[in-house]
Chains A and B, each alone.
Chain A
Amino acid sequence: METKGFTDQVDNYIHHLRRAIYQPVVERDVGHAPIDRRKASLLLLPLLNGEQWTDEMQTAALAIGAIHTAFDVHDQIDIVDASSKEQQLMVLAGDHFSGIHYKLLASIPNFHLIRSLSSAIGRVNECKTTLLQAPPTTVEERLQLIAEVESACIVKFFESFGFSRYVHIVETVFPFVWLLDSRRHDLNRMKFPHLVPSTHETQDWIDQLQQQLNDRLENSFYLHTEVIAELQKMTNQ
């Protein structure tokens, strides 16, 4: 697969996701929903790697994209004052995207995925609350929670459709890119900027996770070289 094919497939997915979650008032007053391209690419990893991709998988993937977007919008609610019209609409936009996620799963219908994703959504919100209000003291524990927040729904998706062999990749990439964002001082993009470790510690963990990712990619014989190249680009230091 060429890089252009990779980009086109992600673009195509984002286009469909944008259409699925469209809400005219929100779009007019708040603007485009923040769709995380990196997360979309990791969700589509099996497709990009040439796995058979059914209509059911496509619908379920859109449902996961909708719930991810809901999470991301709700993460932007001001901790103290959400009284502006824009913030009020963002609360509701997140709820709307959650509803779209459920509607998509109900349209398949995939009861197993409704159950397993609901447990992942619950877990994500538990982890986010812990990271916000009572974060663990060690960087390792924090990174574990961040990995869960970002990957839990994708993991359930992979497990549901027989793509479990991709789980370890996404679980490594998410905490890794969180650290990379912090080193690039990309604080607007990242979640939980208040948990960024010291520069020295960040570098140590980046090195460690880079090594871990390299080992995993090396052992993932089923990954096409183009996909490996894209993953490396995503985690480029």
Chain B
Amino acid sequence: MGLEKIKLMSLYTDFRKDMSYIEKELERSVQSSSPIVRQASLHLLKAGGKRIRPIFVIMAAQFGTYSLENAAKIAVSLELIHMASLVHDDVIDDSDMRRGLETVKAKWNNRVAMYAGDFIFSRALTSIGNIEKAPVHQILAETMLEICKGEIIQIDFQQQTDQDLRDYLKRIKRKTALLLSSSCELGALSADADSQTVRKLKRYGYFTGMAFQIVDDILDITSTDAELGKPAGSDLLNGHITLPVLYIKDDEQFKPYMKRAFTGVMEESDRQAMLRYIRQSGAIEKAQHVSDLYLIKALKELESLPNGKSKKALTQIADFIGQRKY
């Protein structure tokens, strides 16, 4: 486990028992009569992850009448939806590595990845299907469709350099912020928290999610291949323009790098030179500033919520997101 993940996990200390229950539920959920489906699903599950969606559900549910059983159904569902989308994303991006491990599509093939992703998605619905509250399902369904729409737009925008900040923010809202926002909202709803609290937590999740994705996009450029578990600069190599790149895309000296990156194949030395160029351009600092602004907004949403271990942990997670290194 990386140092950063250990740091994040230390913020979950008060919820360790709950998270351990969720981890077991996640593993139980992806059991399958098909050995390949089981292996493919467990493969990704065992590779770990930050489990930020489940922890948001658990923490948000603390602001109402907490039931681990109910919160876990939602937490498991959201983490599985996230996992299913990763399995399909690796097909789209033709990625062979994720979290330092071979992807499902690399270990088996694209079709197995499609079926495994669809299987994991089905298990997500099985888990949340036991919550008989219509708004919960309507919110989740809407969120899923928006996430998908975001990805479709991302493909449509691939290699298009005439994008602006607004396009980028709309894209990352759908890509990441909405699911984190829904994690908080649904966690609070599962515990019948009052509507003001639900709204504040939803907004906290949204702002944190925006910051999380911006930092993710920064780390794609500033981290090493080993830290990322995939080649640094993958976003650009896949034709995706992220916030740091948005700031220098019109730089005449950078344009040739971008053009070559869009071919998807770059000499190693060229890729390193491109990453160095972005790092020293000032674009990283500008992007970091935008992320910080979102985190300030996120923390503001928490101010009027009752003090307690959950509020403390949510504050610390926001701080962690701003400072994480990979």
Contacts and interface: CB of A to CB of B under 8 A. Distances in A.
Interface string A185-205: 000000000000000000000
Interface in B63-108: 85, 88, 91-92, 94, 108
Contacts of B111: 75, 77, 79, 132
B110 A79 contact: yes
Contact of A95 (B88, B112, B134): B88
Nearest to A74: B114
Nearest to A120: B122
A130 B32 CA distance: 11
Interface string B202-242: 00000000000000000000000000000000000000000
Interface in B24-38: 32-37
B37 A125 contact: yes
Nearest to A128: B115
A92 B138 CA distance: 20
Given A102-B144, A118-B123, A91 B88 contact: yes
A129 B36 contact: yes
Which of B35, B108, B152, B153 has the most CB atoms of chain A within a 10 A radius of its CB?
B152
**Which interface class (under 10, 10 to 19, 20 to 34, 35 or more) fits A?**
35 or more
Nearest to A29: B156
B112 A91 contact: no
B163 interface: no
A24 B305 CA distance: 41
Interface in B144-196: 144-145, 148-149, 151-153, 155-156, 158
A92 B32 contact: no
A82 interface: yes
B119 A125 contact: yes
Interface stretch (A43-51, A104-112, A162-170): A104-112
Contacts, number: 150
B263 to A, nearest CB: 12
A109 B85 CA distance: 25
Interface in A92-150: 92-96, 98-100, 102-103, 105-107, 109, 111, 114-115, 117-119, 121-122, 124-130, 132-134
Please classify the interface of chain A as helix (H, G, I), strand (E, B), loop, or mixed, using the class held by over half of its residues.
Answer: helix
B137 A109 contact: yes
Contact of A121 (B40, B116, B125, B142): B125
A58 B279 CA distance: 56
Nearest to B127: A118
A96 B34 CA distance: 25
A85 interface: yes
A114 B121 CA distance: 12
B126 interface: yes
A60 to B, nearest CB: 14
Contacts of A105: 137
B155 A102 contact: no
A95 B36 contact: no
B38 to A, nearest CB: 9
Nearest to B156: A25
Contact of B122 (A80, A88, A125): A125
A89 interface: yes
B129 interface: yes
Contacts of B32: 122, 126
A85 B159 CA distance: 11
A237 interface: no
A99 B118 CA distance: 11
Contacts of B116: 125, 129
Contact of A126 (B119, B148, B153, B155): B119
A114 B125 contact: yes
A92 B123 contact: no
A23 interface: yes
Contacts of B40: 129
A77 B145 contact: no
A195 to B, nearest CB: 14
A33 B289 CA distance: 43
B323 interface: no
Contacts of A121: 118-119, 121-122, 125
B114 A77 contact: yes
A146 to B, nearest CB: 15
B118 A74 contact: yes
Given A80-B109, A99-B145, A106-B137, A91 B158 contact: no
Contacts of A102: 125, 137, 140-141, 144
B280 interface: no
Interface of A: 23, 25-26, 29, 70-71, 74-75, 77-83, 85, 88-89, 91-96, 98-100, 102-103, 105-107, 109, 111, 114-115, 117-119, 121-122, 124-130, 132-134
28 contacts: A29-B156, A75-B114, A77-B91, A77-B114, A79-B110, A88-B92, A91-B114, A95-B121, A96-B152, A99-B141, A99-B144, A99-B145, A103-B144, A106-B134, A111-B132, A115-B125, A115-B130, A118-B122, A118-B129, A121-B125, A125-B119, A126-B33, A126-B119, A129-B36, A130-B34, A132-B112, A133-B112, A134-B35
3 interchain residue pairs of minimum CB distance = A106-B137, A118-B125, A121-B122
